[in-house]
Structure 1
Amino acid sequence: MIKVKQIAHVCIFAHDLDKTRAFYEDVLGLDTQFNFLRDGRIFGFYLNCGGRSHVEVFQKDGTSYSDTNQITHFCLEVENLDEAIAHIKSKGIDITNKKYACDDTYQAWIRDPNGVRIELFEYTDKSAQFTGRDRVADW
């Protein structure tokens, strides 16, 4: 039997590696764990999301994302969603308003420079992820 511990990484493609790195480092505060090199050039990198979770990014020219041809989204847990929203707005990035979701978590949404949807998530003591009770979706 296999026991999954956590998500190891989510991989995305980027049209502009430098712009994508700046977004994840400057806006979301993630640090580069390491770079991927080929022929002496950086063509990708790993971003540290805490613990042993990462976002893996590779240069891929011509990449386009829409609601029908991408991972739906990935989610990053944050310590304080209000502070995260204020910080992201200060960087000139559009972000949704904070919402209290049906699973008793707080969430807000942004997109990276490639159009990848990112959910920012703050748990509560009542979060279904901890209590395990079924929830009726309100969306």
Structure 2
Amino acid sequence: MAELQDFGTLHVIDEQPPLLLPFQLRAHHCGISVPDLEKSIAWYREHLGFGLEYRTSMPMVPFRGAFMRRGETRIELFELPDATTMPAERRDPVTDLRTHGTKHLALEVDNLDAAFQWLSSHGVDIAMPPFEAHGLAGCYIRDCDGTLIELLEHRDGRGLFQPSKPPTPNKENI
């Protein structure tokens, strides 16, 4: 029998933005520092379906970078010489909460069960197995460098995707 977990409460507020601002706003990308740029490019391509949009560099920092894109979602990967490695507590979704700052990259999927099964069968490091609470289903994985990624499916009708349907098997997803 699975261990019962307390996921707390969720109160839907749906507050409208309090001010009308003279500009539009949306997320553009999430930046992730990596120890090996080429290895990370390959991981995001092979495991999450991101394509390489462009490469970048900034000699004054210095870093080499790459923007990866899948649809409207972008990730910036950057490699700096002599960067500090990620502390072990940052690799766990629960202990990482004890450190201030950005916690993880969250990506919405249309079918969490199918995504988790495919990623698991392709050797992706699982940080937290699937859970469901408050109309949301999720899990946490780690990229090839230990960065936490949350995969999230809205099962309450509030997400970007329609309710889950099993994917049609084809050569790419088998």
- TM category, shorter: 0.7 to 0.9
Equivalent-residue separation in structure 2 for 1:4 and 1:108 (angstroms): 31
% of aligned pairs identical?
30
The residue type equivalent to 2:68 in the other structure is L
The residue type equivalent to 1:59 in the other structure is E
1:22 maps to 2:53: no
Q: Give the superposed CA RMSD.
A: 2.5
Residue 94 of structure 1 deviates from its aligned partner by 2.3
Corresponding residue for 2:110?
79
Corresponding residue for 1:48?
69
Query: Measured at CA, do residues 4 and 76 of structure 1 come closer, stay the same or move farther in structure 2, by a change above 3 Å?
Result: farther
Q: Is the 8 A contact 1:14 1:63 kept in 2?
A: no
SS in 2 for 1:88: helix
Mean Cα deviation higher: 78-87 or 42-51: 42-51
Q: Is the 8 A contact 2:49 2:70 kept in 1?
A: no
Equivalent-residue separation in structure 2 for 1:115 and 1:69 (angstroms): 18
Q: Which runs of 5+ in 1 are unaligned?
A: 131-139
Give the alignment's TM-score, normalised by structure 2: 0.62
The residue type equivalent to 2:51 in the other structure is D
Q: Which runs of 5+ in 2 are unaligned?
A: 1-20, 91-95, 161-174
Q: Is the 8 A contact 2:125 2:143 kept in 1?
A: no
Selected match of 2:30 from 10, 15, 21: 10
1:65-93, Cα deviation, whole Å (9 max, x unpaired): 32337620110111211111122112211
Equivalent-residue separation in structure 2 for 1:69 and 1:24 (angstroms): 26
Which structure's relative contact order is higher, taking Cα pairs within 8 Å and 6+ residues apart? 1
Q: Is the 8 A contact 1:64 1:114 kept in 2?
A: no
Equivalent-residue separation in structure 2 for 1:85 and 1:24 (angstroms): 15
SS in 1 for 2:129: coil
Say how many residue pairs are matched.
Answer: 125
Corresponding residue for 2:165?
none
